[in-house]
Structure 1
Amino acid sequence: MKLQRIQQIENYIQQQGSISLDELCRVFNVSKNTIRRDINELEKRGTLKKVYGGVVYVENSLVSFENRTIHNQKEKEQIGKRAAALIEEDDLIYIDSGTTTSQILNHIDPELPFTLLTNNLDIINLAAAMKNVQLILIGNSYKRKTRSFVGIEDEAVVTRYNINKAFMAATGVSITSGLTNSDLMEYRIKKMIVQRTKDIYLLADRSKFDHSTLLTYSPLESIKGIVTTREIPEKYVEFCESHSVDLLYSN
């Protein structure tokens, strides 16, 4: 419980940039002594530094999109390839922003006709060269850190579509917290997408399991399947079997 709270505090400080100890106490409903201990732990990790009355996030501690792409690169490519096999002719799909989901179009028949919604710059660039793909963009503000577009002024941009399949990314996945994300603007898009989608597929390498962040956009039992590797913890295999969630292995 403590570790989960510390993770949530770190994600919240990252979103805010800087924040007072009093506000952290209010948001997480804990005492100032507890917050100070948690902050000391995060300071040791090098993710933030203390200032008078509060803390600030250390920007250079963030892992860049490019470095996250390199991490577990082979696994991400294999997962993307397995997910690509799920896309069928005339599907209306959504591909989420992420270093694993961005691999999908590298492994799909370039002649396959389907409609694609996305907010991911790399997916947009790949789809633009596929003559039979009808491309629909989501988001009106570019976020360089994740190479994605965020912010929706008109929710009808999403809610008018009945999406067959959504290929989602998550910052963390856990049985108790489900599919989680730490960015409020990305969370809003993810939440709207899963509400409009028939079959939701999570793409996640082994590093994402047993982690959770501040915002849950879908319970784990509500999704259609997980595209992953065979090295995931056994408890997730058991959970998926008991909740009719398909496990689609890439290896």
Structure 2
Amino acid sequence: MKLQRIQQIENYIQQQGSISLDELCHVFNVSKNTIRRDINELEKRGTIKKVYGGVVYVENNLVSFENRTIYNQTEKEQIGARAASLIKEEDLIYVDSGTTTSQILKHIDPELSFTLLTNNLDIINLAAAMKNVQLILIGNSYKRDTRSFVGIEDETIVTRYNINKAFMAATGVSITSGLTNSDLMEYRIKKMIVERTKDVYLLADSSKFDHSTLLTYSPLENIKGIVTSRDIPEEYVEFCNSHTIELLYSN
């Protein structure tokens, strides 16, 4: 029974990528002491790593950016195109690092004039070819897994700007945990951005809903809108309607 539970826990952590101890206790209906003992067994196998408040899967738990891009590709392109329609002349926007957010600039009028903050390499490369875009970079250390720049020594680079719209990515989205992310350095940037932005939009394909990871960078009720497809769970439609969150469908 114990060995079967440990294997189930390992499989669950692998699926989630990262997860808190409290959530593991809830999912498997065991005490925190039991979970800690099981986690110690898994750590000996070398497939998980303990972090503050939870665990991460370390054996191929992070799919490369290139491979993640092909999952739900058509859906992500449609979401990116819908989000692009929200960008107006002279906006000051932030585009987050992610396989869905990276689609936005592919669908913007190349003559449009606006200011763009970002930490994503692909977005930087696209924006560099747009002559009317003022490009501002965030982050000073390159992270290859997500093709993004992380780490901020001078936080005033974010706090000095009044951002009109932020187009955010999330590893997981849930009603209870909000918009979540697994990486502490990425989390720090995301949290600063949403705190400085007037209108925050989440870009999320259907696979992101009802999942959560270790770090919440924004409660779900605090955002302006969600750009997504029409097949999201019904409880999220009801939640958005009751909290005046715009649901912007891509199809």
TM-score range, shorter chain: 0.7 to 0.9
Match of 2:97 in 1: 97
SS of corresponding position for 2:125: helix
* Cα distance in 1 for residues equivalent to 2:244 and 2:131: 36
Listed as ranges, the matches of 1:144-163 within 5 Å are 144-163=144-163
Once the two structures are superposed, what CA deviation does each residue of 1:149-194 show, in whole Å capped at 9, x if it has no partner? Answer: 0000000000000000000000000000000000000000000000
Match of 1:35 in 2: 36
* Cα distance in 2 for residues equivalent to 1:155 and 1:207: 32
Deviation for aligned residue 1:32: 4.0
**Residue 78 (1) aligns with residue 83 (2):** no
* Cα distance in 2 for residues equivalent to 1:121 and 1:47: 32
Listed as ranges, the matches of 1:19-168 within 5 Å are 31-37=32-38, 48=47, 57-168=57-168
Is the 1:81–1:107 contact (alpha carbons within 8 Å) kept by the matching residues of 2? yes
Q: 1:61 to 1:217 in 2, by over 3 A?
A: closer
- The letter of the residue matching 1:201 is Y
- 5+ long unaligned stretches in structure 2: 1-7, 21-30, 50-54
- How many residues end up aligned between the 2 structures? 228
Deviation for aligned residue 1:36: 3.2
Listed as ranges, the matches of 1:171-182 within 5 Å are 171-182=171-182
Q: Which moved more, 1:100-109 or 1:55-64?
A: 55-64
SS of corresponding position for 2:115: strand
SS of corresponding position for 2:18: helix
SS of corresponding position for 1:75: helix
Match of 1:11 in 2: 18
SS of corresponding position for 2:37: helix
Deviation for aligned residue 1:34: 2.1
RMSD across aligned positions (CA): 2.9
Is the 1:96–1:168 contact (alpha carbons within 8 Å) kept by the matching residues of 2? yes
Deviation for aligned residue 1:48: 1.2
Is the 1:7–1:213 contact (alpha carbons within 8 Å) kept by the matching residues of 2? no
* Cα distance in 1 for residues equivalent to 2:217 and 2:56: 26
SS of corresponding position for 1:139: coil
Match of 1:215 in 2: 215
Q: TM-score if structure 1 supplies the norm length?
A: 0.83
Deviation for aligned residue 1:31: 4.2
* Cα distance in 2 for residues equivalent to 1:129 and 1:89: 17
- 5+ long unaligned stretches in structure 1: 14-29
Q: TM-score if structure 2 supplies the norm length?
A: 0.83
- The letter of the residue matching 1:33 is T
SS of corresponding position for 2:111: coil
Report percent identity of matched pairs. 79
SS of corresponding position for 2:88: coil
Deviation for aligned residue 1:33: 2.6
Is the 1:121–1:147 contact (alpha carbons within 8 Å) kept by the matching residues of 2? yes
Match of 1:25 in 2: none
SS of corresponding position for 1:213: coil
SS of corresponding position for 1:63: coil
